[in-house]
Amino acid sequence: LLQDRDKLLRNYTQNIDSLELVAGVTQVYHCHGSFATATCMDCKREVSGAVIKPAVLSGKIPRCQPCLEAEATNTASSQPKRGKPKPKKKKKARASNHTESDDSDNEASHPHITGLMKPGITFFGEPLSSSFDAQLWADRAEVDLLVIIGTSLKVRPVSEILAHIPHSIPQILINKTPIEHINPDIVLLGECDKIIEYLCHDLEWVLPSRIEERGQPRRKRRPEEVQSAEYPRRLGAR
């Protein structure tokens, strides 16, 4: 709705399921990446997430087809020609703390999978993309209001956004529970969906509804639909 009204600068999200894109939000930054793309760990070829979706849903490991074809070609070309087998050279035994079984155990525990396709998400322990800092720095100069909705703000890098925004920019928190380690200008507590409905009703904005999903046009919520629930609690304002 904010994007439709040209009010949305950027939607920073920690979701990795691309729900924002499905909902039609294009001005979105996926802080932890998303399943919208996948990249081959060997050749770095990037494809749409839809390409690996069938394999993921069927419980299979998604693989890069060009890499598999190249591996099959190399294997076929490296096959030795038939002939008399060469006698094997005897290996000299030597004492060592490092045994051949150690190598085989390591290889068995971490086998290389050719053409492994990795979703475009940041796994635990992986470094974040440098594009986050660049995007936040660019938006910092244009933002005039920060709205925080439905989060605990405990996971980086989203938890650090507030510290990078100028103090003169007003901040509104819409959440079910308070967040003790931040001090926004306005805090609205309650069910996030209900609070958004209240705000849109007061602004005379029309939210998409289930009626629109069935192919009917948008309509403004009736007063009884909005006022049937308890008004959100407001915890002060600086």
How far is residue 52's CA from residue 45's CA, in Å, rounded to a whole number? Answer: 13
33-40 sheet: strands from edge to edge: 46-48, 33-40, 117-121
Contact predicate 4/27, CB 8 Å: no
23, two tokens: 């909902």
C-beta of residue 77 within 8 angstroms of C-beta of residue 147 = no
Task: From the candidates 30, 32, 167, 201, give the one annotated as an active-site residue.
Answer: 32
Nearest of 195, 200, 165, 199 to residue 183 by alpha carbon: 165
Contact 169, 145 (CB under 8 A): yes
The two most distant CA atoms of the chain are separated, in Å, by 91
Question: Is 181 tagged catalytic?
Answer: no
Q: Which residues pair with 175 in a beta bridge?
A: 189
Rounded CA gap, 99 and 85, in Å?
Answer: 28
Distance CA 202, CA 205 (A): 8
Active site residues per annotation: 32
